[in-house]
């Protein structure tokens, strides 16, 4: 009898140990399952479909339709570029090629991301609609990602909130979290107008076949289908890695991401070299292949999103930066800038520079979890907040001969207006069967009354010079006059109750036209407004909870 009970006790301990081992490592499951379903193959050459050998002559009195390239960086902070005297590490890292896009074209100095995180911003760029109009309210993440964050360490008195009660059989599988196929993308619009459409880089708008780029209007797509990817294998001899031990997002990424891309829905394969280099090199190949026909290219770099990985070559150029993580981050920015310069040089080499509209932006502000301060200076806030640091983004348009070099515009605009602006340039039709929130800003300032943002119970509006933020966690309204206080230092909500009421009513009216999220926001995480994630807690620090 004693032996039997001893055996049962051992089995119970083993079972408990197995359960706890599973719980401790469940965050690794998405990557393991993907490796089983779609193991990463060796690199193979991508061949872009070639256009005509010679450019067709335009009809008399007309010009060939212009090419259009939309370049989007990932989590690029407002202060990550040196245009306005900024730059990483107090200005050590310069970005001359990105700066040149503004200096040789138009700098929209009051430009906004459509959301403060990756997926919804990109959904707005692709559709010209508030993503909340079609249920794309939250960034697409696996359930295991949310569970991983739920067990994160507290920041002082602040703990993550995990809504396990929202996990129901109705939640779409992660690959099905994307822009519905019924939406009209900018690629579909310009393709109908005779353009060859190309996608290179990050997607994050759905991974199931029907939602992948090649089935959402792109003739060709070299894609990172998930939210991010490894820039190089972790053990590559040419890589310098910088991990963020305080950040559970970082832990999840290192465990689950792979150095992998796919072409037109193919099996995953390794890109050649560092991802930033690879995407730029493939963009130049695609430009060469399409130089004699109108094309639209969506070039979506995944830098400088985490994981932080630089090449030893770029890292070695910045010995004056003493903090290792900042040095890796700075090297990634320098590499991104240099490779954008390569893309621009290719346009000149093949003789289509003057007939190409280039648009540059970032999907949102710099991230608090990098642990690097001042990424969004002079603005307060980070990615995952509706403070200016989270949603104010670089936004430039360059088109020699059409847009005057060195021109600026201060009217509020941004991601929403990319769709209609590109469609107008391409001679494409806007969808007539739905609300389009986008406006052609090359024709003049947008005529809308206000810009809106929403993620769960966190709402914001900018109308004229006034901006209202409303949160439930904490229960608070924040009102700022951006003309007098562009960095949101002074909350005027107590002094201006009528204005708070009027702007709150605008938010409620806007919400009447939105729809239920396609998938729920499972996790609410605290983000402090003025310090990065690894800074010590001090009483009185301002914060918001972000729903994802």
- In tens, the pLDDT along 241-299 reads 999 999 999 999 999 999 999 999 999 999 999 999 999 999 999 999 999 999 999 99
Q: Which pairing describes strands 356-362 and 67-73: parallel, antiparallel, or unpaired?
A: parallel
**Structure token digits, residue 62:** 């007309």
Instruction: Report the CATH superfamily, name and number, of domain 68-445+519-547.
Output: Alkaline Phosphatase, subunit A (3.40.720.10)
Count of positions (residues) in the chain: 548
**H/E segment holding residue 51:** none
* Dihedral angle, C-alpha 281, 35, 246, 17, nearest 10 °: -170
395-398: strand order across its sheet: 262-263, 220-224, 196-202, 295-300, 67-73, 356-362, 395-398, 106-108, 407-409
DSSP 8-state code for residue 392: B
Q: Residue 277's CB: how many other CB atoms inside 10 A? A: 21
Residue 227: which pLDDT band, with cuts at 50, 70 and 90?
A: confident
Average pLDDT value for residue range 76-89: 96
The C-alpha atoms of residue 275 and residue 267 are separated, in whole angstroms, by 17
Q: For residue 545, list its beta bridge partners.
A: 526
Judge whether residue 7 has pLDDT over 60: no
- pLDDT of 221 reads 98
Q: Per-residue pLDDT averaged across 102-115, rounded?
A: 98
Instruction: Give dist(CA 526, CA 473) in Å, integer.
Output: 9
pTM of the model: 0.95
CB 14 within 8 A of CB 255: no
- Identify the helix (H) or strand (E) that includes residue 299: strand 295-300
Return d(Cα 78, Cα 84) in angstroms, integer.
Answer: 10
Average pLDDT, the chain: 94
| Rounded Cα–Cα distance for residues 334 and 314 (Å) | 7
- How far, in Å, CA of 519 to CA of 145, rounded? 14
How would you classify the pairing of strands 67-73 and 395-398? unpaired
Q: Is 362 helix (H, G, I), strand (E, B) or coil?
A: strand
Q: Is the peptide bond before 304 cis (omega within 30 degrees of 0)?
A: yes
- The pLDDT, as a whole number, for residue 18 is 60
For 319-332, what is the mean pLDDT?
98
Lowest mean pLDDT across 133-137, 165-169, 423-427: 165-169
């Amino acid at each position: 009898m004693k032996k039997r009970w001893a055996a049962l006790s051992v089995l119970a301990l083993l079972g408990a140990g197995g359960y706890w081992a599973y719980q401790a490592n469940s965050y690794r499951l998405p990557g393991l399952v993907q490796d089983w379903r779609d193991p990463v193959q060796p690199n193979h050459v991508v061949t872009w479909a070639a256009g005509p050998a010679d450019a067709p002559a335009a009809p008399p009195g007309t010009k060939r339709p212009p090419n259009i390239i939309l370049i989007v960086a990932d989590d690029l902070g407002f202060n990550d570029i040196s245009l306005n005297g900024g730059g990483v590490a107090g200005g050590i890292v310069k970005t001359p090629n990105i700066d040149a896009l503004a200096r040789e074209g138009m700098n929209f100095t009051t430009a906004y991301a459509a959301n403060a995180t990756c997926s919804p911003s990109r959904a707005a760029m692709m559709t010209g609609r508030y993503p909340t109009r079609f249920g794309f309210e939250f960034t697409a993440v696996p359930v295991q990602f949310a569970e991983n964050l739920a067990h994160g360490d507290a920041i002082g008195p602040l703990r993550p909130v995990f809504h396990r009660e929202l996990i129901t059989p109705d939640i779409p599988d992660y690959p099905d979290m994307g822009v519905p196929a019924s939406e009209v993308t900018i690629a579909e619009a310009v393709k109908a107008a005779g353009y060859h459409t190309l996608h290179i880089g990050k997607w994050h708008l759905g991974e199931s076949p029907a939602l992948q780029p090649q089935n959402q209007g792109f003739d060709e797509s070299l894609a990172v289908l998930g939210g991010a990817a490894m820039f190089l294998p972790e053990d590559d001899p040419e890589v310098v890695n910088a991990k963020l031990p305080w950040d559970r997002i970082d832990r999840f990424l290192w465990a689950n991401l792979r150095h992998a891309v796919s072409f037109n829905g193919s099996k995953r394969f390794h890109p050649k070299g560092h991802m930033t280099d690879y995407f730029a090199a493939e963009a130049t190949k695609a430009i060469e292949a399409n130089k004699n026909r109108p094309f639209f290219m969506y070039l979506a770099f995944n830098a400088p999103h985490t994981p932080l990985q630089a090449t030893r070559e770029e890292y070695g150029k910045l010995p004056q930066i003493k903090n290792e993580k900042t040095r890796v981050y700075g090297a990634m920015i320098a590499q991104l800038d240099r490779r954008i310069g390569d893309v621009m040089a290719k346009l000149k080499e093949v003789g289509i520079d003057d007939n190409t509209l280039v648009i540059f932006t970032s999907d949102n502000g710099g991230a608090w979890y990098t642990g690097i301060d001042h990424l969004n200076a002079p603005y307060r806030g980070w990615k995952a907040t509706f403070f200016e640091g989270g949603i104010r983004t670089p936004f430039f348009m360059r088109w020699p001969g059409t847009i005057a070099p060195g021109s600026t515009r201060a009217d509020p605009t941004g991601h929403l207006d990319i769709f209609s602006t590109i469609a107008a340039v391409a001679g494409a039709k806007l969808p007539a069967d739905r609300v389009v929130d986008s406006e052609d800003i090359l024709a003049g300032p947008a005529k809308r009354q206000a810009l809106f943002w929403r993620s769960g119970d966190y709402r914001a509006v900018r109308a004229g010079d006034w901006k209202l933020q409303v949160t439930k966690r904490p229960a608070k309204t924040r009102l700022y006059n951006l003309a007098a206080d562009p960095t949101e230092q002074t909350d005027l909500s107590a002094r201006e109750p009528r204005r708070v009421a009027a702007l709150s009513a605008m938010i409620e009216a806007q919400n009447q036209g939105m729809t239920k999220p396609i998938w729920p926001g499972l996790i609410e995480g605290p983000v402090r407004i003025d310090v990065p994630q690894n800074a010590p807690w001090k009483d009185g620090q301002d914060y918001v909870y972000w729903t994802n």
